[in-house]
Chains A and B, each alone.
Chain A
Amino acid sequence: MKSFTYERPGTPAEAAAAVARTPNAKFIAGGTNLLDLMKLQIETPTHLVDVNGLGLDKVEPTPEGGLRIGALVRNTDLAADARVRKDYGVLSRALLAGASGQLRNKATTAGNLLQRTRCPYFYDTAQACNKRQPGSGCSAIDGVSRQLAVIGASETCIATYPGDMAVAMRVLDATVETVDAKGATRKIPVADFHRLPADKPELDTILKAGELITAVTLPKPVAGTHIYRKVRDRASYAYALVSVAAVIGKDGTGHVAFGGVAPRPWRVEAAEADLPRGAKAVTDKVFAGAKPTEDNAYKLKLAERTLGAVLTEARA
């Protein structure tokens, strides 16, 4: 880990300004992913702006009937929030399926959105990785890729977004709110928040330098059965091989997003009309154009069968 200076600003705008004016600065909130990466020198900030004191730790109702989740709300608190549990069960379930109790106590809403890939080649600084070191190549494409992306990847990178929370937010049509150094705010649909790698896999999201996430808003609740189904080799404390976030109505219509398959939460709205026809009709469309490796081709079948199980559960 390289040396860094450290400060704790008092307001979101000050925090954004601090990162914007200091070269190679980063925000730190929960720190559970950033420090992990800093220890391996995958991330090498020389200045850390601690945002934990900014007061962005509340879950509040919005005038539109939704919820505004402060960027610093811890995963545990968000999952346990009575309104989230009652009206956005898929989000609560996704959070609880992720990481461990200790990590959820520390990890924040914004930080979880920014969680970087778990690709093993990204994590080994001796290996070629375009995401970690642009232009160095990709060892994963002809390496061990059982965990990696089957769709949305590129010639330069087949890393997956590893998180669970964002998959639920994707199916809930959440919006990410930010502030920049000048105090300007913007609202980014979570659908647009994570980038596909194309030729710039080093950029995980569309955030600009110094842009600080302040909140995530959820629109008013969608009726239906909320299900988050995470499939993994061991029963807990593991990243998804495939996950399905779904809100399914009584008539079998609904919304569905997939995790563990792509560089971002993967949702194809156009396929959702086929939900009443069953899982295969949906996944055939959702995964049209998928380019799996030999190691991870199983994810296509797994996604179909997992969605099938989700639809069975929703009917029950």
Chain B
Amino acid sequence: MKFDTPAGTNPIDRLKVVGKATDRIDGPFKTTGTAPYANDWHDPQAKLAYGVVVGATIAKGRIASMDLGAAKAAPGVVAIVTADNAGKLGKGKLNTAKLLGGPEIEHYHQAVAVVVAETFEQARAAAALVKVKYTATEGAFDLASVKDGAKDPGDVQGSPSSSSVGDFAGAFASAPVKLDESYETPDHAHAMMEPHASVASWDGDKVTVWTSNQMIAWGTRDLALTLDVPQEKVRMVSPFIGGGFGGKLFLRSEALLAALGARAAGRAVKVALTRPQMFNNTTHRPATLQRIRIGATPDGKITAIGHESWSGDLPEGGPEAAVLQTRLLYAAPNRMTALRLVVLDLPEGNAMRAPGEAPGLMALEVAMDEMAEKLGIDPVRFREINDTQVDPEKPERAFSQRSLVACLRQGAERFGWDKRGKPGQVRDGRWLVGMGMASAFRNNMVLKSAARVRLDGKGMVIVETDMTDIGNGSYTIIGQTAAEMMGVTLDKVIVRLGDSDFPVSSGSGGQFGANSSTSGVYAACMKLREAVAGKLGFNSADAVFEDGQVRSGNRNVPLAQAATGGDIVAEDAIEFGDLDKTHQQSTFGGHFVEVGVDVATAEIRVRRMLAVCASGRILNPKSARSQVIGGMTMGVGAALMEELAVDTKRGYFVNHDLAGYEVPVHADIPHQEVIFLDEVDPMSSPMKAKGVGELGICGVGAAVANAVYNATGLRVRDYPITLDKLLNRMPDAA
């Protein structure tokens, strides 16, 4: 099905199942420990062996020699695979560094071997016996010190790396009120709870990998490319994924090494990265240095806005696209943005929840707060003044929907924004109290997505697609979509996901998954409805699917009856035309945060949080709300504690475990409130939905930072905002 004209009225608009705050259909499995994650895979017939990965202990250089003697001789060892004996390996399209390093080493903890043994304990002990001598070479590890050598990275995510409208330099120079500030965001780890894990098993020349991957089709393609085998020889199965946040978008080393280990061992092999390996072996969100300039008239009209961002990655890698939202968020006649990239020999940088916007808004929305203060205008009002309904760089492109101002107004009212005090003036016991807000913005992307739908003789509707559920609620919203389309209740739908034998979906990432994959199910269900109508002798155009029946005129037939002669199967994909080119499709919101800052120690604790979101039709308000509060929680982490600490001499992330890399715990997070504006976006898809899973994090960090400023009167421009950055400037505690 081609989606190239705005959606009219369709069966989804009935909203009998879609749009309801339904409990997740996978909930009973997740809560009882019966949902099978990759590492839970077990087959009593297979004599499973265990692989443990050996990581490089230098950041850059070459392997001088490897001594596998002791490891090979260790009890239980079945096989050891290194780049030397792995055979010819290619590289996945979406991998920057090789997943199995050697002789060249590109980053710390790059895998150099997998040791396979009869038991996990034996494999772990033997892996420690692999002796590798390295010849280290100089590398670049410190973004700030190499920033001046940055280059233009060329196109980024299909957009040019730089943009310019009007005369930014002239307009900024002559602006009556000006801001020119620099901001820093550190490297972030996805730190999903489930480590990268895979079990691989070969049957002849075909390999099956039970894995944890957000994008099954990318994974199978890249594993085939890396193994140098045809893609049809690779099957990936990933029914449950213990969190990804972008860290499992790509084929990673454990899947490759499970496949190589299994081939070498001649049996199924299970490989999981250890938690301390994850931080340097896999990808992360790159650090940024950002400069923002805003010029405005005294009444708050922005006349010039400029945003530049510098980040680093391995050779052939890409930048963190932290300026893209600035091209779209606020009106201004004179504008410039630029992304610059340096080579860093740290581990591979790549997408993490809301890549670009998450760190970009951490800077932009603080700059807006600072500018509002300079102007003496309320921060909410300042954003209203500079709202736009068209793409400010290309005014002929309107936004398909843009309710930013409505989100901010409703949020301000609900949160009690009018009670916000002057900076450093509100005290509650030992706490200095402040409020902050920020706009939330994230583009709405759509990707082709296919599904297969089957009706059986019992009236069950079975949906199969390689879409993944990474916690985003895919099982449930896909089930709701199929139920709505076929006129059945949710318990009549079975949803099967995450298997490369199923039709290729959008996968989960970039907040494109919910809208795209349900649209693919919509398309397949439209075909199934036609087939059912045909079978029952109905005209499919006027057949109504409702209450388990198919009705046309005054004839009413149970749906199941269509399949009494055998299952009816339909498969289709949604393919998107250019509505996302002719119109700018984005999602919007407002974040409001109240913090307390300890008057003595400068410890920062979040007291209240509210998000108001406008992102098209909300397919399931319960799971969508969870996506948003999850983003808010991760945003608190980014604001207050998360930082991969770079050892700039040795070239690696030092705090590589969950004790060192602190993410928010229960005690850090207060009750969180989320409001969805009632909105549908017919430009987006037949579902009229948009993404929301990443909108939740966008702007949160800045809202927290602005609240800290309001509490203390102290501005911190390098994240995370930890107490040591406030302490010397804090007022006398007494």
Contacts and interface: CB of A to CB of B under 8 A. Distances in A.
Verify whether A and B have any Cβ pair under 8 Å.
Answer: yes
Contact of A234 (B276, B662, B733): B662
Contacts of A124: 276, 654, 656
Contacts, number: 101
A1 B667 CA distance: 33
Interface string A291-316: 00000001001100110110010000
Interface residues of A, number: 36
Contact of B601 (A121, A123, A309): A309
Interface stretch (B231-239, B288-296, B582-590, B720-728): B720-728
Interface in B259-280: 276
Interface in B622-667: 640-641, 645-647, 649-650, 654-657, 659-660, 662, 664-667
A39 B602 CA distance: 36
B601 A302 contact: yes
A233 B601 contact: no
A195 B150 CA distance: 49
Interface of B: 57, 121, 124-125, 128, 276, 430, 598, 600-603, 605, 640-641, 645-647, 649-650, 654-657, 659-660, 662, 664-668, 720, 722-724, 727-728, 730, 733-734
Nearest to B603: A231
Nearest to A100: B665
A251 interface: no
A1 B125 contact: yes
A144 interface: yes
Contacts of A239: 659
A270 interface: no
A235 B605 contact: yes
List the 3 shortest-distance A-B pairs measured between CB atoms, nearest first.
Answer: A126-B57, A309-B600, A298-B724
B724 A146 contact: yes
A118 B661 CA distance: 12
B600 A305 contact: yes
A302 B647 CA distance: 24
24 contacts: A3-B125, A39-B124, A120-B655, A123-B657, A124-B656, A142-B649, A143-B650, A143-B654, A144-B646, A144-B655, A146-B645, A234-B640, A235-B668, A236-B665, A237-B665, A298-B728, A301-B727, A302-B723, A306-B600, A309-B430, A309-B600, A309-B733, A312-B600, A312-B734
B600 A308 contact: yes
Secondary structure class of chain A's binding surface, majority of residues:
loop
B660 A120 contact: yes
A308 B656 contact: no
A159 interface: no
A118 B662 CA distance: 14
Contact of B665 (A40, A146, A234, A312): A234
**Chain B interface mostly:** loop
Contacts of A40: 276
Given A40-B276, A118-B659, A120-B660, A233 B722 contact: yes
Contacts of A301: 727-728
Contacts of B276: 40, 123-124
Interface in A21-64: 39-41
A138 B121 CA distance: 30
A72 interface: no
Given A123-B660, A143-B649, A305-B600, 16 more contacts: A2-B125, A123-B657, A143-B654, A146-B645, A231-B601, A231-B723, A233-B723, A234-B665, A235-B605, A235-B667, A298-B728, A301-B728, A302-B601, A302-B724, A308-B600, A312-B733
A139 interface: yes
Interface string A62-92: 0000000000000000000000000000000
